[in-house]
Chain A
Amino acid sequence: MGIITVNKMKKIAVLSGKGGSGKTFVSTNLSNVIHSSTYLDCDVEEPNGYIFFENNKLIANNTVYREIPTFDEEKCVGCRKCVDFCKFSALAFIGNKPLLFDEVCHSCGGCELVCEYGAIKNKKVDIGNIEIYEKGDKKIVSGKMKIGEASAVNLISEVLDQARGTTIVDCPPGSACSTMEAIKGAEFCILVTEPTIFSLHNIQMIVELVELFNIPYGFVLNKSDESIDYIIEDYINSIDKPLLAKIPFSKDIATQTANGKLVSDNDPIARDIFVSLADDLERKGILK
């Protein structure tokens, strides 16, 4: 069992659909057994992956902004071009003036471009921050969205810019815009699932998503229990995709994880599972 050394940048996204399947569990432990890896926490509504890397050192904390339009009432002639241009309907036209709904705005900047009167200027608004930690040879990055902010997309995009070497992306739950943003540029997706009907339903939606993005993928079956694993295994076999690892349903693993410990440091069996997973990814050419 060797620790894998990689030089070229490789991005692996870990996602699950259903929350609580074990995305953070798998991504933190996988990062832990890969030499000089980067862990990116893109679950920006509740990032907690950094907690597992004990004695980490905060080396940077950057505020992230997005731009929204502001309108110069004196210059605006009420031509309505900006309102009609906005594909997201973030602008209404009331009393001959545009009115912005900033949480609907996708910060595309198009309204400023179409305004012929120079009446629109963009202003920066704070949407969260990115904390960068170091622990030994590891880089750990945590995106934290500001409370009340509606869209995680801009923040996730900036977290992804922190990729370095072999990068494990801990994605948000679900299969909506923020998850799509988080898997952008990934060479491979690890789909974390558990042997429940709920998880099966969700993972099928994730399969649809990663196939749409044309990213190769495989599964990790977490909380595995031989008596019910067929719920997921039958499905994986039916679509002929690899089951990369099975992690047993174990009180010990759950307790350590709940206490903020990496099982790949503390539990030899769990460590073997993650090292084998990394080896397997390397054999498949994903980590090379």
Chain B
Amino acid sequence: MKIGIALMEKNIEKDINQTFARAPYFAIYNSDNKEVVYFDNAAKDASGGAGVKAAQFFVDNNVDAIIAYRLGENAVQVLTKSNIKLFAPREELTAINNINLLIDNELNTLVDIHSGYHHG
């Protein structure tokens, strides 16, 4: 299973970023070989449509699940239409600990969907 997350630093021992589409980095963890790949988030500085662009990145990389604190409704639409499952992390845990919980089926489905942070 491939799991996508947004990060403040390129380190899954740190926390998952509070926001998704405009986080500095993304990581994709492959539970089959326990490998993690880090990416600079190209959607971070988008003038608009950051949610769509960030979600498309994970769709194109064939992830199966996303762990995020909050997601915008456009990102959710792109992800769910591509059959990507969405989970809410536990606040007190690091990214890798949350990933391990997800693998053990211990994370709840994400419910915090916002209507986007639009500006002009």
Interface size on B, residues (CB 8 A): 20
Contact stretch, chosen from A92-100, A158-166, A249-257, A264-272: A92-100
In the complex, B34 has a CB within 8 A of chain A = no
In the complex, B36 has a CB within 8 A of chain A = no
Interface set, chain B 13-68, CB cutoff 8 A to A: 43, 46-50, 52-53, 55-56, 59-60
Count A/B pairs, Cβ under 8 Å: 54
Of the residues A88, A91, A179, contact of B47 by C-beta under 8 Å: A88
In the complex, B96 has a CB within 8 A of chain A = no
Instruction: Please name all residues of chain A whose beta carbon is closer than 8 Å to the beta carbon of B53 when the two chains form the complex.
Output: 89
Q: Tell which of B46, B49, B60 has the most Cβ of chain A within 10 Å.
A: B49
* Docked pose: A178 CA to B120 CA in angstroms: 7
- For chain A, the bracket of interface size reads 20 to 34
Instruction: Please name all residues of chain B whose beta carbon is closer than 8 Å to the beta carbon of A91 when the two chains form the complex.
Output: 52
Determine whether the beta carbon of B49 is less than 8 Å from that of A89: yes
Determine whether the beta carbon of B120 is less than 8 Å from that of A90: no
Distance in angstroms from B69 CB to nearest chain A CB is 21
Determine whether the beta carbon of B49 is less than 8 Å from that of A94: no
Interface of B is mostly: helix
* Docked pose: A91 CA to B77 CA in angstroms: 12
Contacts known (A95-B81, A99-B78, A99-B81); A88 close to B48, Cβ less than 8 A: yes
Instruction: Please name all residues of chain B whose beta carbon is closer than 8 Å to the beta carbon of A231 when the two chains form the complex.
Output: none
Determine whether the beta carbon of B120 is less than 8 Å from that of A94: no
In the complex, B94 has a CB within 8 A of chain A = no
Determine whether the beta carbon of B81 is less than 8 Å from that of A89: no
For B52, the closest partner residue in chain A by CB is A89
Could you mark each residue 171-213 of chain A with 1 if its beta carbon is under 8 Å from any beta carbon of chain B, else 0? 0001011110000000000000000000000000000000000
For B46, the closest partner residue in chain A by CB is A89
* Docked pose: A160 CA to B91 CA in angstroms: 50
Interchain residue pairs with CB less than 8 A apart (26) = A83-B56, A87-B47, A88-B46, A88-B48, A89-B43, A89-B48, A89-B52, A89-B53, A90-B52, A92-B55, A92-B56, A92-B59, A92-B77, A92-B78, A93-B60, A94-B78, A94-B81, A99-B77, A99-B78, A101-B74, A101-B77, A104-B52, A106-B48, A150-B118, A178-B120, A179-B120
A residues sitting closer than 8 Å to B (CB atoms) are 83, 86-95, 99, 101, 104, 106, 150, 174, 176-179
B residues sitting closer than 8 Å to A (CB atoms) are 43, 46-50, 52-53, 55-56, 59-60, 74, 77-78, 81-82, 118-120
Supply 9 further A-B pairs (C-beta < 8 A) apart from A88-B48, A99-B81.
A86-B49, A88-B49, A89-B50, A89-B53, A90-B52, A93-B56, A95-B82, A99-B77, A106-B48
